[in-house]
Chain A
Amino acid sequence: MIEIRGVSKSYNNGAIKAVDNLSLSVRPGEIFGFLGPNGAGKTTTIKMMVGLLRSDSGSIVINGHDVEKEPLKVKASISYVPDYPEVYEKLTGLEYLTFLADVYRVPRAERMARMKHFLELFNMTDAVGDLIQSYSHGMRQKIVLIGALLPEPEVFILDEPMVGLDPRSAHNLKEYMREHCDRGKTVFFSTHVLEVAEKLCDRIGIISHGRLIACGTMEELKEQAKNTGSLEQIFLELTEA
């Protein structure tokens, strides 16, 4: 469950308003797609949700915990995949995963089962003993992804997760997101791939210049835009300057 209320964030002492009085909520069991042109404020919003940036005003509540007031409780119930994964190059994939399992306190039996499952799923079993330095871009993306999946978080937050993944991995990730939500958990992700958003998401939010300009199910979006075409047409129409 995610509850964002009236959140604003500006950079450079107010010179750039990256997020402007944004409110939205995501219910448990929902996949929420976060769309918007480059520089609209998606990454900024996500960073505020995971505690990497402080909002100037407003509040963000995740699983009933305020991000500002109870950061540890929030952190323990989410996991996050950044848009550009900077990871410890000098650790092996496996060491990175065990490090995350340790800090999220994943019990032994669970961590072993999940590691094996996800490594197979994303075809990383063979590479897991190598230094991350030797990984390709997509492999790095996948190791960060697996690391984020290990704690089986209540809320899963991803910033453009499909970028760089091969078709099979992207497909597996989408399947996983669906299963995850069917178990009553929440997924929040930003993307530029409108087909993915259209097919996968229960609800979609479109942000432009830091403001939420549309939010709802596909049907609701169509109504709002008075356009019965594809998500692409709606997106282009709504974000026209």
Chain B
Amino acid sequence: MRLWTLIKQQLHVAFNLSALRWYARYDRKKLAGGVAIAVAVIASLVPMYYYVYLQFLDAVFLAGLTIGQPEILLTLSLVSASFIVLFFGIAFVMSTFYFSRDLSLLVPLPLTPGEIVGAKFAVVLVQEYLTVLPLFLPALIIYGVRMGTGIAFWPAGLAVLLLVPVLPLTVVSAAILLLMRSTNLGRYKDFLRLVGMVLLVVILLGINVLVTKLAPLTQEDVLALLLAEDGLIRFIARLFPPALLATRALVAGGVASVLNFLGYLAINLAGIVLTLFLGERLFYRGLIGGEEVAARKSVSQSRLERKMARVSSPAAAIAAREIKLLVRTPIYLFNSIGVLIIVPVALLLPLLMGEAVDPLLAIFLQPGNRFFVNLAGAAFIAIMGAFTPASSRSFSREGKQFWLSQVIPVPPAVQIRGKILYSLLLCLLSVPLVILLSVFFTKWSPPELLLVIVLGLCGCLPAVTSGLLIDLLRPYLNWDNPQRAIKQNMNVVLGMAVAALCYWLLYLLAKHLYRVGFSEYVIYAALAAAALLLGYIPYLVMLQIADRRYRDIVAP
């Protein structure tokens, strides 16, 4: 079982098990610190998770119950978990399959490409369980407990839970294997791959929209959906048909359950076989030569001199370096810019296609609601800023190259300012979106637009500086593929949680001022001031600790 050995070894590396064991033996304090931080991160998310997600699930269950289809809860969470794995898997799979540092060790070993793909797949899969578990497990429990299901429900639930991420991941893996194979074309490879990833997202979303659009619903259809025994479930499962099999496996009972489960299992296994098959055929052809970059461009003497002569200040040089590294690493770019593309597309497609939303939009855009529309615009910029967490991985991203930042004679404070500058520049990327939004929907006047943008950028600042502070306190430098610097980095989650807290405070402030009856402009000004203050505090803390941190962080 060579594959099994390889999988074990890969999981070992991915989860740092040797290091953990080592710490458990020799450095309990450090281990305890790490555990404490993990607990703190999770605890900080619990309230939001509880009040938003769990309550939502419960509401779905109750709504389903009233129309006699409580299984909706299961189908809905199956479908949404599958989609989340699908979307977040894209960058994850690409990075793990193709940009892991250990590939140069694995490839020369007497392993087949299929085995390497299989092992890497297992690594991604196990990590996806960490995503699926909090999403799907509560749905299982709510349904199981509330319905008082029989004992057989629980093992079946566990089996389905284990299968949930498999199929979406095989779809992503197959797509990425094809993408990497077909874009292994020398010079413009990186660019093509970025385009490919974005296209993949758009296609997935497009299919989604098409499916829902194929049959426009009339009143009678809706009624039929509600009345038919599992009409609504089948409707939801159209988005991801295997979810229907999984739901039935859980609730049908008896032979029907077993048959549906076997069907679901078979589809998943087929996905794995397909991935391994494509891996065997395509993996090396997408990988080998993947390191090859633009052929030697002869630079003319005069151009060389011009470039040499360009002098800039240290802070500008650092910001420029960050931007170049971002733009040239497809994984980073996809993670930073991808959200900026995915979110609006996801928002706009249904908006553009559905007629039902028009009245809602009209109400929202009534003249009297201008104030709220403006605030919503600013909040959009701020939230997009928090979702483009360039800052909370800014140090981590430097990875093994952090030594350079430590030895250059640039005060850490200046380096930090360079990073803030760079992160704010990234926040600016959502401005074109806001302008589009204005052209099509909100029709802001130029002064209003300016107000929205300035207010939004002020709102980005707390997310930027608090994220940077978190990453400065505990940078994750020893990553082995670029995706891990981002996704496996708890700092990103922690940063978003802190940003969410800041936004909540700002929301409370706005609500309070509005109730008291302050004028619109006072509220804008107060919000901007509060946001700047919230952003300034982490900056001050960083200035205090930067020198010490730059000295004490030990680059791997």
| Interface-facing stretch out of B162-170, B268-276, B311-319, B450-458 | B311-319
Number of A-B contacts (CB under 8 A): 110
Stretch binding the partner chain, chosen from B231-239, B244-252, B321-329, B483-491: B321-329
Residues of A within 8 A of B305 (CB): 112
**Does B515 reach chain A (CB closer than 8 Å)?**
no
B residues contacting the other copy or chain, number (CB 8 A): 45
Asked if residues B321 and A88 are in contact (CB atoms below 8 Å), the reply is: yes
- Given A112-B308, A126-B298, A130-B297, A72-B411 contact (CB < 8 Å): yes
- Determine the chain B residues whose CB is within 8 A of the CB of A99 once the complex forms: 317, 320-321
A184 in the interface (beta carbon within 8 A): no
- Please measure, in the bound complex, the distance between the C-alpha atom of A42 and the C-alpha atom of B555, giving whole angstroms: 17
A134→B293 contact, CB < 8 A: yes
- The residue in chain A whose Cβ has the minimal distance to the Cβ of B299 is A129
Q: Report how far A113 CA is from B307 CA in the complex, Å.
A: 13
CA A71 – CA B550 in complex, angstroms? 10
Interface status of A38 (Cβ within 8 A of chain B): no
Counting CB contacts under 8 A, is A111 at the interface?
yes
**Measured between C-beta atoms, what is the minimum distance from A87 to chain B in Å?**
7
Q: Contact: B313 with A102, CB < 8 Å?
A: yes
Is B296 interfacial (CB-CB < 8 Å)? yes
B296 touches A131 (CB 8 A): no
Question: Size of chain A's interface in residues, with CB distance under 8 A?
Answer: 46
- Which chain A residues border B299 with CB–CB below 8 Å? 94, 128-129
Choose among A71, A86, A131 the residue that contacts B401 (Cβ–Cβ < 8 A). A86
Query: Is A108 among interface residues, defined by CB-CB distance under 8 A?
Result: yes
- Name the contact of A130 in the complex, choosing from B293, B328, B329, B555 (C-beta under 8 A): B293
Q: A105-B314, A128-B299 are in contact. Are A112 and B407 (CB under 8 A)?
A: no
**Do the beta carbons of B309 and A112 come within 8 Å of each other?**
yes
Q: Which residue, A95, A102, A108, A125, has most C-beta atoms of chain B within 10 A?
A: A102
- Least CB distance from B483 to A in Å reads 15
Residues in A with CB closer than 8 Å to B309 are 108, 112
Given contacts A94-B307, A99-B317, A103-B318, contact A129 B297 (CB under 8 A): yes
Within 8 Å of chain A (Cβ to Cβ): is B294?
Answer: yes
- Nearest neighbor of B405 in chain A, beta-carbon distance: A103
Q: Mark A112-125, 1 if CB is under 8 A from B, else 0.
A: 10011000000001
In the complex, what distance in Å separates the CA atom of A102 from the CA atom of B551?
A: 21
Among the stretches A19-27, A51-59, A191-199, A206-214, the one at the interface with B is A51-59
Q: Kindly identify, within residues 380 to 413 of chain B, every residue whose CB is under 8 Å from any CB belonging to chain A.
A: 399-401, 403-404, 406-411
A204 and B406 alpha carbons, distance in the complex (Å)? 28
B26 within 8 A of A: yes
Interface pair B26/A15, CB less than 8 Å apart:
yes
Minimum CB distance partner of A125 in chain B: B304
Shortest beta-carbon distance from A189 to chain B in Å = 16
Contact A80 B407 (CB under 8 A): yes
Q: Is there a chain A Cβ closer than 8 Å to B27's Cβ?
A: yes
A60 at the interface (CB under 8 A from B): no
Give 1 or 0 for each of A134-156: 1 = CB within 8 Å of chain B CB: 10000000000000000000000
Is B407's CB under 8 angstroms from A75's CB?
yes
**B263-299 interface bits toward A, Cβ cutoff 8 Å, 1 = contact, 0 = none:** 0000000000000000000000000000111101111
In the complex, whether A104 has a CB less than 8 A from a CB of chain B is yes
Measured CB to CB, the closest approach of chain A to B24, in angstroms, equals: 13
B554 interfacial contact with A, CB 8 Å: yes
At the interface, yes or no: A76 with Cβ under 8 Å from chain B?
yes
Tell whether A98 is near chain B: CB-to-CB under 8 Å.
Answer: yes
Inter-chain contacts of A100 with B (CB < 8 A): 408
Q: Judging by beta carbons under 8 Å apart, are B311 and A102 in contact? A: yes
Given A71-B547, A90-B329, decide whether A115 and B408 contact each other with a Cβ distance below 8 A. no
Specify the chain A residue showing the minimal Cβ separation from B311.
Answer: A108
Q: Does A82 reach chain B (CB closer than 8 Å)?
A: yes
Q: How far is the CB of A152 from chain B (nearest CB, A)?
A: 13
Chain B proximity mask over A9-25: 1 for CB below 8 Å, otherwise 0: 00011010000000000
> Taking A15-B26, A98-B308, A128-B299 as contacts, is the C-beta distance between A103 and B293 under 8 angstroms?
no
Indicate the member of B292, B297, B298, B408 with the most A CB atoms within 10 Å: B408
**B410 CB contacts on chain A under 8 angstroms:** 103
A54 to B550, CA, bound (A): 11
B-side residues, CB < 8 A to A, are 26-27, 291-294, 296-299, 304-305, 307-314, 316-318, 320-321, 324-325, 328-329, 399-401, 403-404, 406-411, 547, 551-552, 554-555
Which residues does A use to contact B, with CB under 8 Å? 12-13, 15, 50-54, 71-72, 75-76, 79-80, 82, 86-88, 90-91, 94-95, 97-105, 107-108, 111-112, 115-116, 125-131, 133-134
29 examples of A-B residue contacts, CB within 8 angstroms: A15-B26, A51-B406, A51-B407, A51-B551, A52-B406, A52-B407, A52-B555, A86-B400, A88-B321, A88-B401, A88-B404, A90-B325, A91-B321, A91-B324, A98-B307, A98-B310, A99-B317, A101-B311, A103-B408, A108-B311, A111-B308, A111-B311, A126-B296, A128-B304, A129-B298, A129-B299, A130-B294, A134-B292, A134-B293
